[in-house]
Structures are given as structure tokens and as C-alpha cells.
Amino acid sequence: MTKPFPMNAWYAAAWDAEVKPALLPRTICGKHVVMYRKADGSVTALEDACWHRLVP
């Protein structure tokens, strides 16, 4: 099943230099996410929600 525009496209979320080990919050197409750089240098993005309280 194909998602409707704008959810069916790729978007630049941050410049490479912006993503550090600290959480970097962003809102993309109405979705709240946080990005961070792992110890191996790779970047990870997660939904900006605490699983215990379901708040950012």
C-alpha cells in the first residue's frame, strides 16, 4: 500500500554536522522525531516519545 504525498518521499532532516551524540529533535511532515549519532558514527532516528509516559 502506497502512502499519500508528502509521506511517500524522502526529506533531508539535518546536516551531517548537526547530528551529534546528544538528541536532536525535529518535526518532519508533522511527525516528531529525535536523531542522534551512535558510538560507531552511524545516525539513528526514533519517534520523539517516552515509552513510559508517551510524551516527548
Q: Where are the domains of the chain?
A: 16-47
Which of 28, 37, 56, 34 is CA-nearest to residue 46?
Answer: 34
pTM assigned to the model = 0.76
Provide the pLDDT for residue 27.
93
Which of 37, 33, 35 is CA-nearest to residue 49?
Answer: 33
Provide the pLDDT for residue 53.
80
pLDDT(55) > 80: no
User: Which residues of 1-56 form beta strands (DSSP E)?
Assistant: 24-28, 31-37, 43-47
Higher pLDDT, 1 or 35: 35
